[in-house]
């Protein structure tokens, strides 16, 4: 975990109606000690357990409570807060809050804010152990996790109701540490990062192409993580069905040649190049101007010719940026990845197993990352979080290279 991870991060802290709400006072203090800017949003039930004045004094900002309050909306309304937040942290989160978030309710300020925000969400539940184990609560947790929400805790032990078990809010210090492990440090301000994503389509005739199973999810998640680190991001993407992330400048291409040309046009003077795209290694030598007709012949032979290796063109250039490649392998993942690291003169490579329903198109993945002097395994996680973990590692190695 980077000590600096929360420095300058804008955090909306949602406090809901649990006896553990008193701990949010300490939580605000500890987040601010780490350099975070904290705005507190309380549910009405939370105000029964701790006063808004306490959290206002500790955060240094007015506490927002009402959705339909003209004065509060005029100050920093829910849409502004939704855009402002780098992260939304809900601590404590009651069983009712989990249910409301999981079902997409938006009838109070906190849930409206969450539904209007693209910011990542971390939730620290707090409730009686039977409520935590309740099937409905567990279903809600699974659903929220599938939407990339990060669940922090809960802890086990004595409960306010006199029972023992799982359901206690994590201690404020543990929440801050867990959040710091998830956040990408804001250390790429003023840096330009170029990222490739998605597949390439290599046309055979006007209606057919050779493509691959890349959905672009990992490359787009890398672009979001780079933007969260404060970088100016150029995302060069093959044909995918994904919205453009905020604060990211996107260029759409179709073929490997077009991706090559756009990369070479944008990579000059950039600081980091991350090649996540699944670029075709071969393309049909000839493009048929008219649709190839089905004839009585039993076979159709296509002659394929190699495409340009984009990432190698970047590492062969003058004043090359810090270059991170990916390796998609069905077997011998480590050996092939290490070979590509060397052969393509990369600074780092993130390798993943693909095929049989893993790697491509799914929402979760795991990576083995290699660089000259080390390696790290990034365990199975939603691609959105995996990209943050990878970006944090890239920043570490980039800083190490640029300070030696
Ligand atoms: O898009 P998703 O569905 O989320 O899936 C993510 C992913 C599986 C596509 C991603 O995690 C991944 O592994 N991307 C790299 C896929 C790939 O093409 O790997 P490769 O081992 O064939 O290529 C090695 C490296 O060379 C890659 O960085 C690739 O971008 C680059 N390359 C390859 C061929 C080429 N002509 N030019 C290149 O620059």
Whether residue 22 is predicted with pLDDT greater than 70 in this model: the reply is yes
User: For residue range 89-126, what is the model confidence (pLDDT) as tens digits?
Assistant: 999 999 999 999 999 999 999 999 999 999 999 999 99
pLDDT of residue 372: 96
Which residue's CA is the nearest one to ligand 1's atom 7?
360
Q: Per-residue b/e over 124-134, b at no fewer than 16 CB within 10 Å?
A: bbbbbbebbee
Which residue's CA is the nearest one to ligand 1's atom 18?
278
d(CA 247, CA 230) in angstroms, rounded, equals 9
pTM exceeds 0.85 for this model: yes
Sequence-distant (6+) residues with CB within 8 A of 268 are: none
Closest to 195 in 3D by CA, of 352, 387, 339, 359:
387
CATH number of 10-182: 3.40.50.1950
Listed by start position, the domains of the chain span 10-182, 192-402
Please indicate whether residue 279, judged by its CB atom, sits closer than 6 Å to ligand 1: yes
pLDDT of residue 130: 95
d(CA 392, CA 402) in angstroms, rounded, equals 15
CATH among 3.90.79.10, 3.40.720.10, 1.10.150.110, 3.40.50.10300 for 192-402: 3.40.50.10300
User: For residue range 194-207, what is the model confidence (pLDDT) as tens digits?
Assistant: 999 999 999 999 99
219 in Cβ contact with 276 (< 8 Å): yes
Whether residue 88 is predicted with pLDDT greater than 90 in this model: the reply is yes
Range 213-221 average pLDDT: 98
d(CA 271, CA 190) in angstroms, rounded, equals 10
For the beta carbon of residue 20, count every other beta carbon within 10 angstroms. 27
User: For residue range 260-305, what is the model confidence (pLDDT) as tens digits?
Assistant: 999 999 999 999 999 999 999 999 999 999 999 988 777 889 999 9
Question: Given this chain, do its domains 10-182 and 192-402 carry the same CATH topology?
Answer: yes
Handedness of CA 293, 294, 297, 298 (dihedral sign): positive
d(CA 26, CA 32) in angstroms, rounded, equals 10
Whether 270 is catalytic: no
DSSP string for 225-251:
HHHHTT-EEEEEE-S---PPPTTEEEE
Mutate which of 216, 278, 349 for ligand 1? The one with the most ligand atoms within 8 Å of its CB, which is 278
Q: How many residues are given for the chain?
A: 404
138 in Cβ contact with 105 (< 8 Å): no
Cα of 122 to ligand 1 centre, how many Å? 30
Cα of 294 to ligand 1 centre, how many Å? 33
How sure is the predictor about 2, in pLDDT bands with cuts at 50, 70 and 90? low
Whether residue 1 is predicted with pLDDT greater than 60 in this model: the reply is no
pLDDT of residue 160: 82
pLDDT of residue 164: 86
pLDDT of residue 73: 74
Whether residue 147 is predicted with pLDDT greater than 80 in this model: the reply is yes
Listed in sequence order, the DSSP H helices in 147-255 are 172-182, 217-228
Closest to 25 in 3D by CA, of 123, 77, 92:
92
Handedness of CA 209, 210, 214, 220 (dihedral sign): negative
203 in Cβ contact with 287 (< 8 Å): yes
Strand partners, 369: 350, 376
Share of the chain above pLDDT 90, in %: 90
Whether residue 336 is predicted with pLDDT greater than 80 in this model: the reply is yes
Cα of 281 to ligand 1 centre, how many Å? 10
Cα of 375 to ligand 1 centre, how many Å? 19
């Amino acid at each position: 975990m980077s000590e600096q991870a929360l420095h300058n991060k804008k955090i909306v802290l949602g406090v809901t109606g649990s006896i553990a709400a008193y701990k949010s006072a300490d939580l605000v203090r500890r987040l601010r000690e780490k350099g975070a800017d904290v705005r507190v949003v309380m549910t009405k039930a939370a105000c029964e357990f701790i006063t808004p004045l306490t959290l206002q004094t500790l955060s240094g900002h007015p506490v927002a409570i009402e959705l339909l309050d003209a004065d509060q909306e005029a100050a920093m309304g829910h849409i502004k807060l939704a855009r402002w937040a780098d992260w939304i942290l809900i601590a404590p989160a009651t069983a009712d809050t989990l249910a409301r978030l999981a079902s997409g309710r938006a009838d109070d300020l906190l849930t409206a804010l969450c539904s209007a925000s693209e910011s990542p969400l971390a939730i620290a539940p707090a409730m009686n152990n039977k409520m935590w184990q309740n099937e409905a609560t567990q279903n809600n947790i699974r659903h929220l996790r599938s939407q990339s929400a990060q669940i922090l805790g809960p802890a086990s032990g004595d409960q306010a109701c006199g029972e023992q078990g799982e359901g206690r809010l994590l201690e404020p210090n543990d929440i801050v540490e867990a959040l710091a492990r998830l956040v990408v440090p804001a250390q790429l301000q003023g840096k330009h990062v170029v990222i490739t994503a998605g597949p390439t389509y290599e046309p055979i005739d006007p209606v057919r192409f050779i493509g691959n199973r890349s959905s672009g999810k990992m490359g787009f998640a890398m672009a979001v993580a780079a933007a969260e680190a404060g970088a100016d991001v150029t995302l060069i993407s093959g044909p995918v069905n994904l919205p453009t992330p905020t604060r990211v400048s996107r260029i759409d291409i179709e073929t490997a040649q077009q991706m090559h040309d756009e990369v070479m046009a944008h990579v000059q003077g950039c600081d980091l190049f991350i090649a996540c795209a699944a670029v075709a290694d071969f393309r049909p030598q000839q493009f048929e101007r008219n649709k190839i007709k089905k004839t009585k012949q039993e076979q159709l032979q296509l002659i394929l010719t190699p495409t340009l290796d984009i990432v190698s063109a970047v590492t062969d250039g003058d004043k090359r940026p810090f270059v991170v490649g990916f390796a998609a392998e069905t077997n011998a993942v480590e050996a092939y990845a290490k070979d590509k690291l060397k052969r393509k003169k990369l600074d780092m490579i993130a390798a993943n197993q693909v095929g049989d329903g893993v790697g491509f198109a799914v929402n979760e993945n795991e990576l083995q990352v290699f660089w000259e002097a080390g390696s790290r395994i990034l365990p199975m996680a939603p691609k959105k979080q995996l990209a943050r973990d990878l970006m944090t590692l890239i920043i570490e190695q980039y800083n190490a290279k640029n300070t030696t």
